Copies of this chain bind each other. A is one copy, B any other.
Amino acid sequence: MTELRRTADVGIARLDVDRAARTGTPEVVYAAGKTPEQTVTCLAGLLDAGAGPGGGAFAWATRVDAPTAAAVRARWPEAGVDEAARIAWVGELPAPVGRVLVLTAGTSDGPVAAEVAATLAASGVGCARVDDVGVAGVHRVLAVADDLAACDAVVVVAGMDGALPSVVAGLTDRLVVAVPTSVGYGAAFDGLAALLTMLTACAPGVLVVNIDNGFGAGVAAARIVHTLRHGDRPRDQR
């Protein structure tokens, strides 16, 4: 691993150029708290260094607001921007392998699910999405049984009571990645209620990410798919 420690210094940042080689996901620029110019500088540094998968020219950023999206497009007219997901990228998206099922409890959870989907796309993983299957009409959950059986992993996005992952994890043998969202008000406490629900899910096999962290859920699901697909399984223990 010693050789996978290159750093590209662009003044405001020390870019972790070999992160894709080490972890399977290229370094991403977190645009929140950065000026549009800073985000562009970081993206350019990643492109120059070949920080994409396989050393390719690919770079991306999350939490991209409108001014930053405009700055990215001004610099790279061919850049892709998913406005719902607030993700921008420069370079070719990889061909998708595998299939991750992304479920939302309600329509208002859509932007976070979009971030999951865009992260999967940028990671070269296939994605199937079914929206608005909240447990208040639990038959809608039961209706996705075939989708559950035909995927590598499930990502469940839910706000308010965050109850959906508990039900889903009782219906499938695939890993369930739960994303609490800040949808709701009052005792939802900006996603805290859903977060606690998911952490205490009565069905085991639920793993949780930060509130509204569609990016993290996407990266984790991509790790699962890539582990599955690489073919180089470690030998069994003992």
Binding site for B on A (CB under 8 A): 1, 5, 7, 12-16, 19, 22-25, 27-28, 30, 32-34, 38, 42, 96-99, 105-108, 110, 126-128, 130-143, 145, 149-153, 160-163, 166-167, 169-175, 177, 180, 182-213, 215-216, 219-220, 223-224, 226-229, 233-238
Most chain B CB within 10 A, of A5, A38, A180, is at A5
Contact B108 A33, beta carbon cutoff 8 Å? yes
Contact B199 A197, beta carbon cutoff 8 Å? no
Q: Which of B97, B108, B211, B212 is A30 in contact with, Cβ under 8 Å?
A: B108
Most chain B CB within 10 A, of A28, A34, A132, A166, is at A166
CA distance A25 to B204 in the complex (A): 9
Residues of B within 8 A of A34 (CB): 107-108
Contact B135 A202, beta carbon cutoff 8 Å? yes
Residues of B within 8 A of A173 (CB): 22-25, 223, 226-227
Contact A42 B107, beta carbon cutoff 8 Å? yes
Q: Which of B108, B203, B233, B235 is A135 in contact with, Cβ under 8 Å?
A: B203
Q: Which of B14, B166, B177, B188 is A200 in contact with, Cβ under 8 Å?
A: B188
Residues of B within 8 A of A198 (CB): 161
Residues of B within 8 A of A172 (CB): 22-23
